[in-house]
Amino acid sequence: MKEIEPRFIVDHRNEKLLSAIYGWVWGLNSVLDHSKGLLFWGPIGVGKSVLLRGLQVYESRINRIRFGCSNNKLGFKFTSAAEIALLYAEKGMEGISKFTDRERMCNLAIDEIGREATDSKHFGTGINVVQTILQLRYEHRREFITHGTTNLDPNTQFSDTYGDYIADRVKELFNVIEIKGETRR
């Protein structure tokens, strides 16, 4: 975590969560379901993105040490919801196919879910890109892990932004983890 954020501190606010996350990586944790991704939610500045980026670095190290190369079932691509919306606006469905097409799909972390434009347009054709990605990735949830960070409350605000279909499936797609507290910045 300190590689991602040199000021990162392990304290009473995060030590149990860190233990659970590392247990999840190794499939040793009974608190978090290893077959689901991680969705960190909470107020701005509590460390959601740092935790996810730290997990990405940790899993890439495991790949090199344990397998001597990259294992596609371990590790994940990291991008923001805003970047995904911009990819759609620039290239249409082809721009987001690496996140939705089963043949090109990989494990994925979407940072800042809910901060993107909800009606991204490509030559006048508008869609809620993150809603579409979550819907299509849900269909392949047993093959590919999806992680995320958000300031939205998945219990109440996901319905408003992504509709009831996605809100209903959040708990099947993710281990929903609330991170409380004041900003760490």
pLDDT string in tens for the chain (185-residue length)? 888 888 888 898 899 999 999 889 888 867 899 999 999 999 999 999 999 999 998 888 877 666 555 555 567 999 999 999 999 999 988 999 999 888 888 899 999 999 987 778 778 778 889 999 999 999 999 999 999 999 999 999 999 999 999 999 999 999 999 999 888 87
Which strand ranges, in their side-by-side order, compose the sheet holding 174-178? 77-80, 108-113, 146-150, 37-41, 174-178
β-pair type (146-150, 37-41) = parallel
β-pair type (120-122, 125-127) = antiparallel
124 φ, ψ (degrees, to nearest 5): 90, -15
CATH superfamily of 34-178: P-loop containing nucleotide triphosphate hydrolases (3.40.50.300)
Q: Which amino acid is at 178?
A: E
